Homo-oligomer: A and B are copies of this chain.
Amino acid sequence: MNSKKLAEFLEYAASLCETREVRLTPQRLEVLSIIAASGKPVGAYEILQKLQQERPNAAPPTVYRALDFLQEQGLVHRLASLQAYLACNHPHDEHQGQFLICSDCGRVREMEDGAIHTSLCKAADKAGFDMDDEIVEILGRCGECKRVRS
């Protein structure tokens, strides 16, 4: 994420939190900024290291608490297959997103594909299952890496 988009994103996040009357504290904002700036999924301890450059006494709970908040607000997603965190690319409302994860370059693209969601709902329904959350992570090679390799 370039610095202009980053600034826009953080501003949007701030306004979103204001509307919801939840507190995007400086610390939470800093964690969000670290994640968004990286543009790729980042591990909690990687976040911690960067945070400690500004706040030397930050500890694991500092990061995990901020992550909990940011995930609740739909500003950050956790990628279960990577145990890493990614800024949402369209943080409108509560949603899970579906992810294309490139094993070569590590970049991730978030989608919100209606057809995928529908197929999941139908399958769950058929099984008499009441769906709360969906985790969809597709591993492979992105377009750029495909071209480079072949």
**Whole-angstrom distance from the CB of A138 to the nearest CB of chain B?**
5
* Residues of chain B within 8 A of A123, CB atoms compared: 98, 111, 113, 115-116, 138
Q: How far is the CA of A80 from the CA of B130 in the complex (A)?
A: 20
| Interface status of A40 (Cβ within 8 A of chain B) | no
| Interface status of A136 (Cβ within 8 A of chain B) | yes
**Whole-angstrom distance from the CB of A147 to the nearest CB of chain B?**
9
| Interface status of A137 (Cβ within 8 A of chain B) | yes
* Residues of chain B within 8 A of A133, CB atoms compared: 138-140
Are A139 and B143 touching (Cβ within 8 A)?
no
| Interface status of A27 (Cβ within 8 A of chain B) | no
Q: Annotate A120-136 by CB proximity to B: 1 below 8 A, 0 otherwise.
A: 10111001111111111
Name the residue of chain B whose CB is nearest to the CB of A128. Answer: B143
Name the residue of chain B whose CB is nearest to the CB of A132. Answer: B140
| Interface status of A52 (Cβ within 8 A of chain B) | no
Q: How far is the CA of A133 from the CA of B141 in the complex (A)?
A: 10
Question: Can you show 11 pairs from A to B with CB atoms below 8 A apart?
Answer: A80-B81, A98-B123, A100-B124, A119-B119, A120-B138, A124-B138, A128-B146, A129-B142, A130-B142, A134-B138, A136-B136
